[in-house]
Chain A
Amino acid sequence: MKYIKYLPSVDDISEIEYFIKGLSPDDLILIGEYGQLNPFSIYYEIKSCFNGEIFIEINARDKNKDLIVSYICTAFSLGFKGLVISSGKFEKKEGMAKPVYDLDPSQILMVAVSLKEKKFGDDFIIGIRSASGTGAVYERAKFFIENGADFLVFDNNNVIEDFKNRTVIIQEISKYNETIIAK
Chain B
Amino acid sequence: MILTSKKNIEDIKRSLQGFNSIVIVGCSECAAICQTGGSEQVKDMENALSENEILATISIESPCDKRISTRDFRRITEELNKADAIVSLTCGSGVQAVSEVTGKPVISALDTLFLGMVERLGEFHERCSTCGDCILNYTASICPITLCPKGIRNGPCEGIVNTKCEVYEEKECVWHLIYEKLKDLNRIDNYSIYHEPLDWSLHHSPREKLWKRRKS
Contacts and interface: CB of A to CB of B under 8 A. Distances in A.
Nearest to A92: B167
A101 B152 contact: yes
Q: Which size class do B's interface residues fall under? A: 20 to 34
A104 B167 contact: no
B124 interface: no
Residue among B156, B161, B179 with max Cβ neighbours from chain A (10 Å) = B156
Contacts of B160: 131, 134, 136-137
Interface in B168-188: 168, 173, 175-176, 178-180, 183
Interface stretch (B29-37, B59-67, B192-200): B192-200
Given A92-B167, A133-B162, A104 B155 contact: yes
A107 B197 contact: yes
Interface in B133-189: 149-163, 166-168, 173, 175-176, 178-180, 183
Nearest to A90: B167
Contacts of A140: 154-156, 175
Nearest to B149: A90
A87 B176 contact: no
A106 interface: yes
Contacts of A142: 192
B159 A131 contact: yes
A104 B192 contact: no
Nearest to A153: B158
Contacts of B168: 92
Interface in A117-134: 129-131, 133-134
Contact of B149 (A60, A92, A143): A92
B191 interface: yes
Given A101-B150, A101-B152, A87 B179 contact: no
A39 B162 CA distance: 30
A136 B175 contact: yes
A128 to B, nearest CB: 8
Given A92-B149, A136-B178, A131 B156 contact: yes
B157 to A, nearest CB: 4
A183 interface: no
A139 B190 CA distance: 11
Given A101-B150, A131-B160, A137-B160, A110 B194 contact: yes
Interface of B: 149-163, 166-168, 173, 175-176, 178-180, 183, 191-192, 194, 196-197
The 3 lowest CB-CB distance pairs between A and B, nearest first, are A106-B154, A136-B179, A129-B158
Interface of A: 60-61, 65, 86-87, 89-92, 99, 101-107, 110, 129-131, 133-137, 139-140, 142-143, 147, 155
Given A86-B158, A107-B196, A135-B179, 12 more contacts: A87-B157, A89-B159, A92-B167, A92-B168, A99-B150, A107-B197, A135-B183, A136-B155, A136-B163, A136-B180, A137-B160, A139-B191
